[in-house]
Amino acid sequence: MIIKPYFGAFLTLLSLSLILSGCKHKDASGFDFYKYHKKHPESPVVKSLKTYNTNSDSAHPNAKEILTSSVEFNSKGLKIKETHYTEDSGKIDYSTITKYDDNGNAIETHSVYPASNYETTEKNTYDKDTHLLATDWSRTDGTSGRHEYKYDSHGKMIKWDWFEKGKFVISRLYYYNYDKEDRPIECVCKETKNNKDTTSDCHETYAYDSVTGLQSGKIVMIENDVPLEIIEDQYDSTGNKIIEIHYERDSVGKLKPDTRTINIFNEFGDVTQSVVYKGTTQQSAMDNKYDNYGHLIESVTRDATGTKKTRNDYQFY
C-alpha cells in the first residue's frame, strides 16, 4: 500500500513551535509506547548476524546475493567482532574486535584493513556513570593521540579535546539550553585551537511533539541564525513517526520542502514501509519484514535505479 502525501503550511508552525518550545510540551519519558503497541516475545541472545545485499536492475535482473558484513556477539549480547566486505569483490574491507569491562563498556577496539596493511587501536576509559572520559588511539602509520570528553549534569557532552603525540590540537565545545522538562531545545557548537578564540561550527534548535513528547523538529542554522535546513517529524497518537519532512534552501535561497518520508507501522510499532517523495514524485519505497522477536530480517528498496534487497541472518545462543 502506498500513501499519498498531504502537507500544509508546516514551516511557519514549526518555526513558531521552536520559539515557544519548553513551556507546553510533555516529557518524552511520560509517554508509554507499549500502551499502544503489542510486545514481541523476548528474544534469545543473538550470537551472530550476517547481512547480505542483492542489487538488481534491468541490466542485471538476476544479480547474486553478496555477503556485506558479519557480526559476532558474546553471551551478553555485546558485539565482539565485526567484519565488512567490499560489494564488488567480496574481499574483507576491514574487521574490528572489541573488548569490554565488567560493566559492558567497550574498553578497547582494534581494526584491521588488510588491503592497505593498516591497523588502528583505541582504548577507552569511563567514569562511574559510564560516560566516556578519554580515548587513546594509535595507528600503524605512526600517528597516535588522545581524545578527552566532559559532560554537563544532563549527560550531554560539552567538550571534546583532541591531542596528537601529547600536543593539543583542537577543542570542540557544545553549549546546550534546556526547557523546563530538561529537554535540549538548543545546541551551539564551537571550535578553538588555543582554548581562547572560538569559531562557530554549528547551531541547532529542537521542538517536541505536544502529545508524545518526542522530538518533532530540528532547525540547522548558518551564520546570523539563518535556517539552512529544517527537519520536521510528525507522530500519530500511538507514538509512531508517520511523516518526516526535510526543508532545504532552493536556488534562490528560499526554504521549501525537499523530501518527505511517509512510514507505515505494524501492531508492534515496527516500520513495515517507508516511501520517500521529492515534491509530489515518489523517489523510493522500502518494505521491511521482521521475525517473531522484532529483528529486521529483510528490507527491499525500489527506486529508479533498480531494487536493493538486504537480508539479515541471525543465529542465537
pLDDT in tens, 70-127: 999 999 999 999 999 998 888 999 999 999 999 999 999 999 999 999 999 999 999 9
pLDDT for position 112: 98
Question: Helix, strand, or coil here: 305?
Answer: coil
The closest of 119, 121, 118, 145 to 134, measured between CA atoms, is 145
Break the chain into its structural domains and give their ranges: 10-316
Contacts of 172 by beta carbon, 8 Å cutoff, 6+ apart: 159, 160, 162, 189, 190, 191, 201
Alpha-carbon torsion, ordered 35, 38, 42, 48, to 10 deg: -120
Owner of C-alpha cell 502529545: 211
> How far apart are alpha carbons 100 and 104 in whole angstroms?
5
Q: What is the residue type of 131?
A: H
> pLDDT band at 9, cuts 50/70/90?
very low
pLDDT for position 224: 67
pLDDT for position 317: 97
Tell me the mean pLDDT in the region 310-315. Answer: 98
Owner of C-alpha cell 529544517: 230
- Contact indicator for 242, 235 with CB cutoff of 8 Å: yes
Query: Cell digits for 211?
Result: 502529545
> How far apart are alpha carbons 13 and 43 in whole angstroms?
42
Tell me the mean pLDDT in the region 61-66. Answer: 91
pLDDT in tens, 267-304: 999 999 999 999 899 999 999 999 999 999 999 999 99
pTM, 2 dp = 0.83
